[in-house]
Amino acid sequence: MTNGEIGAAGQGVPVALQIDGEMTIYRAAELKDVLYGALQAAVAGSRALALDLSGVTEFDSAGIQLLLVAQRDAERQGQVLRLVACSPAVRDVFALTGLSARFEGEQA
């Protein structure tokens, strides 16, 4: 399940998004829309986008692609995408692919 609630408005307060469950090809279209909406809210408020992936149970190449595209789009719009928490499933894939260092603020 995806929690699309946006954090409180205010300078310096990031837009927060928690993703739970699968982050796989089976949910890629749904999650793309959710990530894009959160990114647009961050851009509109000149805030960072903070992703909590601690509830992700499965993570595959589609999940990687979603994060990389969201990060690229955030950077193009002058914003930051930051991972504030990652589940073991996400950490394992990051370790296998060498992507751990790419996402600033990622916490184990």
pLDDT digits over 71-95, tens only?
A: 999 999 988 888 999 999 999 999 9
Ordered structural domains, the chain, with CATH: 2-102 (3.30.750.24)
CB 95 within 8 A of CB 62: no
Q: How confident is the model at residue 102 (pLDDT cuts 50, 70, 90)?
A: confident
Q: Residues 16-30: pLDDT tens digits? A: 999 999 999 999 999
Instruction: Quote the pLDDT of residue 46.
Output: 86
pTM of the model: 0.82
List Cβ neighbours of 40 (8 Å cut-off, separation of 6 or more). none
* 103 vs 43, higher pLDDT: 43
Q: Residues 27-75: pLDDT tens digits? A: 999 999 999 999 999 988 888 899 999 999 999 999 999 999 999 999 9
5 vs 9, 66, 107, CA distance in Å? 12, 19, 21
